[in-house]
Structure 1
Amino acid sequence: MNTQIMFRIRTRLFLTYMILVGVTVLAAGLFAGKVIKDSHTEAIRRNMMNEVRMIVSMIEPDIASYDPVNRRAYYQEQVERFAALTASRVTFIRVDGWVIADSHHQASEMDDHGDRPEIQDILEGRMIGDAIRFSDTLGEDMIYVAAPVYNGDQLAGYVRIALGLEELSGTVYALWGYMLIGLTILLAISALVSYRFAASFTRPIEHIIAVAKRITMHNYRARVRLKRRDEIGLLGSAINTMAVSLQEQMEQLTENENRLESVIDNMISGIVVLDREDRIVLMNKAAERILGYDAQEVIGTAYDRLKQPLPFEQLVLESIYRGEHIRDEIVLYYPEERTIELHIIPLKMDSLSNSGLIIVLHDITAIRKLERMRSEFVANVSHELKTPIAAVKGFAETLLSGSVSDEKTTRSFLQIIYDESERLNRLIGDILELSKIESKREPLHLAPIQLDSFLNSVVEMMRPEADRKKITLELEAPEDVYIEGDEDKLRQVFINLLSNGINYTPENGSVKMVLQTLGDPEGEYDRVMISVIDTGIGIPKKDLPRIFERFYRVDKARSRSSGGTGLGLSIVKHLVELHQGSIRVESRHGLGSTFIVELPVLHTWND
């Protein structure tokens, strides 16, 4: 830095220092003068209160019945005597505001004093009234103090004393004069001392300023290189400490910002933030998915540009005008139909201003669908239970009434009752089984299973049923195929699938079970596929998506006659999924069906 710049800096420092010293001393003088003036004024006011009380105690209380002819000289003499004693102006005032006597002015020429502030203070209930104001009579600022005069319990009039403020003003002016002389001397001494120090401050201060500028340009690694131990050195050390702290805080803020951005982007719930002008300033990925918009396209635009259903805009407007948290459910039809739980929360930086809105979107389509399924399940359970119970009750009442005397008919009724009770027992058992599976209260007992022998045992178990319908039952399974699974639950799966195949296949048809391994053809298999293929009546295309639902039947009449509960395939699906597997169906109406189960060879976790 050249000499000219250094001189400018020294001069600037010097002038700044001198101005600061001058302003400080001047402010101290003004403050001291005001304090002295206020203290002196308060002392005078208190002394005047004591004096006015003394005067009230010494005058006659018949001031209210003042006789202007006979008593004027007496009261004038009194006010002049008290004025000499107190060195102040004394005024006697009647209760109606008329001036009886005044020590400094002719009473007959004075106007009504009932509206004076010191008199009004007494009328408002104060024991002593006071005021500082300009006197129209004497033409100067004065302190007024007034006290009431009572004749018994009746207010008779007022005694007022007043004192000019010229003496107090003179004292303050003298103090300000002394202050000015002291300020001049102090500034002269400061000028001699401060200029010598200014030069020694410029170079390190310029270095500190340069470092501070680098920090403001986000270079938080900049440091002050000073070895001084004085205040400048401490300042440099403080700048370095600040730079280190800023560097750490910015790194922490960056990390927190990245973490917060990651959390917001990966939230399941959609979040849209509006500013105070109702423009979109933030939209996470879930909100993009729910609303069907790209955040980059809508950031900075008004929320009503989203072209959402009218209830959405109405709820946002209601929250803006009411300034309250609003929760509601709406149905969005774009980009697809969804049921959305909507939370609109106003952002308030203080109790008055609205700083924007947070809109939280929960996709509850699956929840509402589950609720409907539960409702349908309860209705279906009630219906399915009602049918066998009604049959049992009806035939039992018939038998109990004694109207059936034929033994053969009686046995037929009892058989019906027995069959319906068995059906009811199976239904309740399946409901309990499905409930335990869905709630995962029944854990898997995993063990190695040799599939060819296992599936052969299942087929042989179902063969008598197939033989009764003259249905061919076959198994194709390679040897030495092993998986890890719960044998009892898998047996329940394949018995159910084979039983359905046999029940829905006409006589002289066939049901076939095929085992295949899946995976790298040249390596070891990691999954197996078991297919149950029948030549039965098949499943219509419209019913395929729903056959794994509880109580769903394609042929309701035939299902009931076969003793089915409508829960078998739902139980199968849950059991397969418990094994981390999958099940699907392929079918053509009238040509048969194929149920395909895929299972992993090994489990990575155990429910």
Structure 2
Amino acid sequence: MNKFFNSIVLKGVVIHLLLFGIFEIMNSTYYLSDTKALLLFFIFYIVTLSLLIWYLSNLAQTANKISNQVDNFLNNNYENLQKSTENDELSTAYNKLITLGHEIEDRQEHLENQRSQLESILTYLVDGVITTDRHGHINLANHAALNLLDQSNEGILGKELIEVLKISDKYSFHDLLQKEPELTLNTVNCEGASVILRVNFMLFRSESGFISGIIAVLHDTTEQEKTERDRRLFVSNVSHELRTPLTSVKAYLEALNDGALADPNLAASFVDVSLNETDRMIRMIGELLELSRMDQDKVKLHTEIINYVDFINYILDRFDKIIEKNYRNFKIKRH
């Protein structure tokens, strides 16, 4: 009912009636005295009213088509985009709207294709990627990021980035925009394993240059950190292993210098042990070079059977003088 009373046809009929009513009142004396003129006046009124209703109905129909087409666009419905064959102003506007609908449909399809390609790329990325809007709320996270942070897509979207990364006590979103820091985070992934993440932040700008959000890239450095720890431990062990024979040789040489050289049998034994320790250092350095070649896949391993008892006695012989000199309360017993 409201639609009828607000229609352009009804408004046109009312205005037409008012105009003719005013005209008839102003000339009422003439029409009352001339019945034929009054009849012609009403015939003219009916004809003009019919033409007006026909014309306004066409306009209303075109306006309704425009309104319905806009509603279809708002609902992402781009079917039945047929142009009008009429040449009036509203039909021209309707045809331009149809052209606009074709362009919107093409651009939406292009954007959907780009979004699908982007999601495919992000899905297969090893690094986690999270994007936010300009207020710091997450609007996209790839599969790797969800796994690294032990989150679900429904649970992470719309949340603040600093809350998800658990850095709100040190940084605000404004700090991330200004400083773009590189952070190291300790967290637990979806498998319950502890992981070390390196997080880099990059600003995301629109074509106009305004900051429209931030991109956080999460790189799992757990294996790198483990490799670095192993490397430091390896260097420490190598240093210790090299220091041990040097200390042993030094202890025997000091014993020789202190008078053991006068005893030929004892001196020969000390010299023999020192030579063995020197050979051991040479072998150790050779083994390090061999290990380097193994790391580069340039060597083949050869296994052999050894006498384990002789091997242990050889190890104990190396520490005899060191223990005798520095730890007088200890003594190695062989059985």
TM-score over 0.5 for the alignment?
A: yes
Structure 2: give runs of 5+ residues left out of the alignment.
1-7, 13-51, 319-335
Q: Which residue of 2 aligns with 1:360?
A: 217
Post-superposition shift, 1:261? 1.8
Partner residue of 1:261 out of 99, 103, 119:
119
Distance 1:352 1:559 in 2: 73
Cα displacement string for residues 541-563 of structure 1 (whole angstroms, at most 9, x for unaligned residues) = xxxxxxxxxxxxxxx97794599
Q: Which residue of 2 aligns with 1:417?
A: 274
Q: Is 1:429 matched with 2:286?
A: yes
Distance 1:206 1:340 in 2: 59
Matching residue's letter, 2:147: R
Matching residue's letter, 1:363: D
- Cα 1:439–1:277 shift into 2, 3 Å: same
Q: Is 1:224 matched with 2:82?
A: yes
**8 A contact 2:260–2:267 mirrored in 1:** no
Distance 2:116 2:270 in 1: 75
Distance 2:219 2:176 in 1: 23
- Paired residues for 1:240-255 under 5 Å: 245-255=103-113
Post-superposition shift, 1:263? 2.6
Higher helix proportion (structure 1 or 2): 2
Matching residue's letter, 1:329: T
**8 A contact 2:260–2:266 mirrored in 1:** no
Distance 1:374 1:262 in 2: 37
- Paired residues for 1:326-341 under 5 Å: 326-332=181-187, 335-341=192-198
Q: Which residue of 2 aligns with 1:325?
A: 180
* CA RMSD after TM alignment: 5.0
Distance 1:207 1:344 in 2: 50
- Paired residues for 1:67-216 under 5 Å: 209=66, 214=72
Structure 1: give runs of 5+ residues left out of the alignment.
1-6, 12-194, 443-487, 508-555, 564-607
Q: Which residue of 1 aligns with 2:199?
A: 342
Distance 1:253 1:203 in 2: 35
TM-score normalised according to structure 1 size: 0.35
Matching residue's letter, 1:257: R
Q: Which residue of 2 aligns with 1:293?
A: 151
Distance 1:216 1:558 in 2: 88
**8 A contact 1:204–1:226 mirrored in 2:** no
Q: Which residue of 2 aligns with 1:567?
A: none
Distance 2:111 2:313 in 1: 68
Distance 1:321 1:258 in 2: 28
**8 A contact 2:162–2:171 mirrored in 1:** no
**8 A contact 1:340–1:363 mirrored in 2:** yes
Post-superposition shift, 1:370? 1.5
Higher strand proportion (structure 1 or 2): 1
Post-superposition shift, 1:420? 1.8
Post-superposition shift, 1:411? 3.3
Q: Which residue of 1 aligns with 2:139?
A: 281
Matching residue's letter, 2:144: A
State the SS of the aligned residue for 1:313: coil
Q: Which residue of 2 aligns with 1:313?
A: 168
**8 A contact 1:270–1:360 mirrored in 2:** yes
State the SS of the aligned residue for 1:267: coil
Matching residue's letter, 1:337: S
Matching residue's letter, 1:422: D
The alignment-based identity, stated in percent, is: 25
Post-superposition shift, 1:253? 1.6
Matching residue's letter, 1:327: E
- Cα 1:241–1:394 shift into 2, 3 Å: farther
TM-score normalised according to structure 2 size: 0.58
Matching residue's letter, 2:146: E
